């Protein structure tokens, strides 16, 4: 809401400032509630502008810590610009979520049941079947899948914007944790809270001035 | 808006409490034979937040017990037991006993399913939504109750066959694998049920070569719970829950201040 709609522009500005701070609290809250979401990227609370919606904010794309899981189909990527390819409804789509498993149809899928794209796979020797029978499956840093020492295929990796020398390593048995820093978010929450307190104080003062003016002049009209 | 944020925080607290419940369950079962860690993960998707639960079927350490009816599985696979309702359940707990009639029983008191050439065995499955039996799979092995002769010493052969010291065959332990073991339904007591989503049930390749499942006699598989990791996760979750509580407190204070500002000036 623009402050021009208020009878008193100062009150409008204060209201806008408060709305802005409340938006920032919403972002801090989103961060905190996703601190244990696989691969979640921190939303930057300071990036929200007055006129923008929460969809327009920026994210901290830095790498989250790698959590060891020991699961052979848990994969992480070392480069924040890199993605796995999974089969979407209209062809391959990018995904950073590396938690895969073999489904009932014997396909390697992510938790949204989208199949992981494995290149150079022999249809007669599917990776999933070897994994299911408990074969020794190793995926090296280049995404090459080896079962009992033999190459069975390569995990497809795509880049958002690949520059010269850009590389991404596949890490088997690890998942990327969220990069949310709880302590930092609590500090930001306190800062926003203080800001709102200040705005509320000024708003209260402004309203009491208005009230006094109305009472004083109103009595003499 | 305040209420909306408060409910969001409550939702996050509920999720963290669920995660905490899983960690506490793991710690409670840190010394349960064959127990597998419960892993709950949260994922951001276009359809909103998704929770994915799975058991980490990673081998626990095999502990030597020297007891002739203790068996541990190394590698993929589950022992098969017959439940009182005739369905079959699966377990990694190989602490077997002999019942009053000489039958081989699991630690939960259910008959252990072994191969027998005369009776074809069909594995049954349940429907996750209704809990009713939804189908059956021919696992290609044979089964019947297994009886241990009185006073016999049981000896395990490399392929999973149980024999007496004198060479009489008692039966072959059924060890099976699933296409999707993440979908096994946990029914407590280290027992799991198969369902549609577990896919095909197959007989495990038993042997001592790499990649094959090995059964060892006189050993029991410990749980794969890491108490240290769980404790550290609990501390982290505790911090997250406190942080969410702080948000609720801040929202409450803001609402209180706003109400008092407005009412004071009316």
DSSP assigned state of B103: B
| B221 phi, psi to nearest 5 deg | -85, 125
Distance from CA of A137 to the nearest CA of B (A): 9
Contacts of B251 in chain A (CB under 8 A): 25
Is B54 close to A101, i.e. CB distance below 8 A? yes
Q: Which helix (H) or strand (E) holds B28?
A: helix B2-28
CA-wise closest residue to B157 among B101, B105, B206, B195: B206
DSSP assigned state of B183: G
- List C-alpha distances in Å: A65 to A176, A179, B239: 6, 7, 18
Is A69 close to B1, i.e. CB distance below 8 A? no
A interface test, pick of B247, B248, B251 with most A CB neighbours within 10 Å = B247
Q: Residues A28, A185: contact at Cβ < 8 Å? A: yes
Is A38 close to B42, i.e. CB distance below 8 A? yes
pLDDT tens string B209-252: 877 899 999 999 999 999 998 998 899 889 889 888 888 888 88
Q: Residues B43, B31: contact at Cβ < 8 Å? A: no
CA-wise closest residue to B40 among B31, B29, B49: B49
Is B211 close to A102, i.e. CB distance below 8 A? no
Mean pLDDT of all residues in A40-60: 71
Contacts of A206 in chain B (CB under 8 A): none
pLDDT tens string B47-72: 788 888 889 898 999 999 999 999 99
A interface test, pick of B23, B178, B265 with most A CB neighbours within 10 Å = B265
B185, β-bridge pairs: B193
Q: Residues B91, B191: contact at Cβ < 8 Å? A: yes
Q: Residues B57, B41: contact at Cβ < 8 Å? A: no
ipTM rounded to 2 decimals: 0.72
CA separation for the pair A66, A151 (Å, rounded): 26
Q: Residues B217, B155: contact at Cβ < 8 Å? A: yes
Q: Is A182 helix (H, G, I), strand (E, B) or coil?
A: helix
pLDDT tens string B185-202: 999 889 999 998 898 898
* pTM of the full structure: 0.75
First to last CA, chain B: 22
**Any residues with CB less than 8 A from the CB of B78 and at least 6 apart, and which?**
B90, B91, B92, B175, B176, B177, B178, B192
pLDDT tens string B140-182: 444 457 888 888 899 999 889 999 998 888 889 989 999 999 8
Helices (H), ranges, chain A: 9-33, 127-132, 182-220
Question: How do B48-55 and B38-45 pair as beta strands?
Answer: antiparallel
Distance from CA of B170 to the nearest CA of A (A): 26
pLDDT at B3 over 90: no
CA separation for the pair B20, A119 (Å, rounded): 39
Question: How do B120-126 and B104-105 pair as beta strands?
Answer: unpaired
């Amino acid at each position: 809401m623009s402050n021009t709609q208020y009878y008193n522009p100062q009150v409008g500005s204060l209201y806008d400032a408060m709305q802005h701070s409340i938006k920032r609290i919403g972002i801090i809250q989103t961060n905190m509630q996703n601190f244990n979401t696989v691969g979640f990227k921190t939303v930057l609370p300071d990036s929200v502008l007055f006129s923008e919606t929460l969809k327009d904010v920026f994210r901290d794309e830095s790498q989250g810590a790698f959590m060891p899981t020991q699961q052979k189909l848990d994969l992480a990527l070392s480069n924040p610009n890199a993605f796995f390819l999974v089969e979407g409804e209209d062809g391959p789509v990018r995904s950073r979520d590396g938690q895969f498993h073999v489904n009932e149809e014997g396909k390697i899928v992510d938790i949204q049941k989208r199949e992981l794209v494995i290149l150079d796979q022999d249809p007669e020797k599917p990776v999933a079947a070897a994994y299911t029978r408990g074969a020794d499956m190793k995926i090296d840093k280049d995404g090459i899948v080896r079962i009992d020492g033999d190459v069975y295929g390569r995990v497809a990796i795509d880049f958002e914007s690949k520059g010269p020398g850009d590389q991404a390593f596949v890490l088997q048995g690890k998942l990327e944790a969220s990069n949310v820093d709880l302590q930092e978010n609590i500090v930001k929450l306190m800062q926003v809270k203080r800001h709102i307190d200040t705005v509320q104080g000024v708003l209260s003062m402004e309203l009491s001035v208005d009230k006094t003016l109305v009472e004083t002049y109103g009595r003499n009209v | 808006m305040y209420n909306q944020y408060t409910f969001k925080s409550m939702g996050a607290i509920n999720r963290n409490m669920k995660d905490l419940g899983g960690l506490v369950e793991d710690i409670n079962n840190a010394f349960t034979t064959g127990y597998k860690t419960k892993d709950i993960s949260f994922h951001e998707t276009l359809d909103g937040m998704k929770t994915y639960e799975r058991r980490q079927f990673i081998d626990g350490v095999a502990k030597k017990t020297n007891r002739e009816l203790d068996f541990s599985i190394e590698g993929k696979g589950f022992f098969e037991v017959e439940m009182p309702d005739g369905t079959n359940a699966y377990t990694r707990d190989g602490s077997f006993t002999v019942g009053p009639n000489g039958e081989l029983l699991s630690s939960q008191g259910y008959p252990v399913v072994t191969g027998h050439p005369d009776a074809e065995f069909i594995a049954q499955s349940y429907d996750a939504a209704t809990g009713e039996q939804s189908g059956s799979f021919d696992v290609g092995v044979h089964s019947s109750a297994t009886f241990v002769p009185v006073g016999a010493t049981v000896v395990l052969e490399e392929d999973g066959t149980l024999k007496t010291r004198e060479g009489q065959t008692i039966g072959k332990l059924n060890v099976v694998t699933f296409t999707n073991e993440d979908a096994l339904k946990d029914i407590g007591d280290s027992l799991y049920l198969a369902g549609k989503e577990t896919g095909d049930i197959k007989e495990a390749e038993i042997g001592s070569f790499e990649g094959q499942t090995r059964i060892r006699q006189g050993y029991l598989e410990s749980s794969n719970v890491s108490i240290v990791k769980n404790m550290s996760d609990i501390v982290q979750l505790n911090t997250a829950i406190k942080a969410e509580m702080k948000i609720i407190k801040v929202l409450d204070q803001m609402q209180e201040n706003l109400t008092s500002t407005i009412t004071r000036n009316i």
